[in-house]
Amino acid sequence: MNKPIVAVELSHSAVKVTIGYTLDNQPLVLYAAYHPLRGAIENGHISNPSLLSGALKKALQEAEQKTNYKIFDIVLALPAVGMQVFQANRSSTVVATSGKIKTIDVKNVVNIMRRDAQVENTTIVGIIPDLYSLDDGKKFVEPPLGYVSGTLSIHAKIHLLPTDLCNEYAHIVEAAGYKLAKGFVGQYAYAEFLNSYANLPDGYIAVDAGAKQTKLSLIAYKALYGTVTVDIGGDDLINEVKDAFNLDTKQAEALIIKYGYYPNQTGYEAKITDYVNEAGITVPLFIRNLATVIENWLEKYREIIDVGLQQLVTEQGDNTDLLKYPLVFSGGLAELNGMKDYMSTHITNKDVIFITPRTFGARHGRYNVTLGLIKAYSRYKVEIGDEINKVTHISRDKGNIN
């Protein structure tokens, strides 16, 4: 059995660790943990390196203790800040005199793509094959190993990120005492997670609703084409409730988690706690009061998503057809009770779908990206090969986390 994959996401709100394999193209989880952490990352960039590296080290050491598995390297989600996506189609002559395609032939074509895709001050973080083609016109979605052809052609997407951003995260892993086996754009990993669901449409907008940000990603035929990030998330809702009822952050978050958006349609007044109003008087807080504040915030959230969708349309060549694509919600904020009903009721010009992980051991939207990392790395090892040179440090020159 292959060694487990240790997948890590460093988000604005937490260090998330998932350990597992893939079985029949589905992630199989051995361990999953969520370690809250605030103040280490802002807008995708690391603002407190020592805090973040310490938290990562502690999270991985805890994983080692609880699984009795020694961790040496990790697969890491990288933020999509400054991401570029290119499409490439390259070919190479098959090495074997028999014409039988082997893994080395796939690597040769990928290396040509890597060489041709060098862009100043960027790092290639993913070469994702979409289609393999042979001389006789046959096409495959997986490497056609063993088939006979004079040449092998690959159509692929190439993901690039700013080198400085890649360095930030590579240094954190190194400072924590571990090696970086592979880095993937988090939204590509998220797309790989969503590809586990066979009933999703061919084209949709994935809405990854997080704590500080919400990412809108165009997914078509299981491939990531672009991502737009809007600066709004669950933390903003917590602050809204906190300010409305003069609560502390923990109290506000607890009420949101417990009750969510629950409009009172029965007329029965259900008291949930007391709070001190602006006049300094202790008054009861009813479910309808909380629901009103959450409803107003969800309306603002929906409007900001619309702005993000317009930006995504612009970045995709003003393709207004994208405005008709279904919205597929997932992520920690999407777990809010009542959010699905609200969005389904108030977004009437397109389908609205909510996804929750069904993987045993990680059935929460917070693990979407790390589950996707397990799939992405498994695919990477099969299609491109588990390369000998692991990345422990990324040069400031043009390089590859690949």
Q: Which of 339, 354, 369 corresponds to the end of one domain?
A: 354
Contacts of 33 (CB under 8 A, 6+ apart): 16, 17, 18, 59, 62, 63, 66
Q: What is the band of 392 on the pLDDT scale with cuts at 50, 70, 90?
A: very low
> What is the domain count for the chain?
3
Does 111 have pLDDT greater than 50?
Answer: yes
**Whether residues 178 and 55 fall in one domain:** yes
**Does any domain span residue 395?**
no
Domain that holds residue 270: 200-354
Does 319 have pLDDT greater than 70?
Answer: yes
**Whether residues 107 and 216 fall in one domain:** no
**Does any domain span residue 398?**
no
State pLDDT tens for residues 238-266: 999 999 999 999 999 999 999 999 876 55
**Whether residues 63 and 91 fall in one domain:** no
CATH classification of the domain holding 91: 3.30.1490.110
State pLDDT tens for residues 264-279: 655 567 888 888 888 8
**Whether residues 140 and 191 fall in one domain:** no
**Whether residues 204 and 274 fall in one domain:** yes
**Does any domain span residue 20?**
yes
% residues pLDDT > 70 (the chain): 92
**Whether residues 189 and 270 fall in one domain:** no
pLDDT value of position 385: 60
**Does any domain span residue 388?**
no
**Whether residues 294 and 193 fall in one domain:** no
- The pTM of the full predicted model, rounded to 2 decimals, is 0.85
State pLDDT tens for residues 18-54: 999 998 888 889 999 999 998 999 989 999 999 999 9
- Phi, psi (5° rounding) for residue 296? -60, -40
State pLDDT tens for residues 284-299: 998 899 999 999 999 9
Q: What is the band of 360 on the pLDDT scale with cuts at 50, 70, 90?
A: low
**Whether residues 192 and 212 fall in one domain:** no
Closest of 164, 156, 142, 165 to residue 77, by C-alpha: 165
**Does any domain span residue 11?**
yes
Average pLDDT taken over every residue of the chain = 90
pLDDT value of position 365: 78
CATH classification of the domain holding 297: 3.30.420.40
**Whether residues 228 and 304 fall in one domain:** yes
Half-sphere exposure (Cβ direction) of 210: Cα atoms closer than 13 Å: 27
% residues pLDDT > 90 (the chain): 76
**Whether residues 43 and 175 fall in one domain:** yes
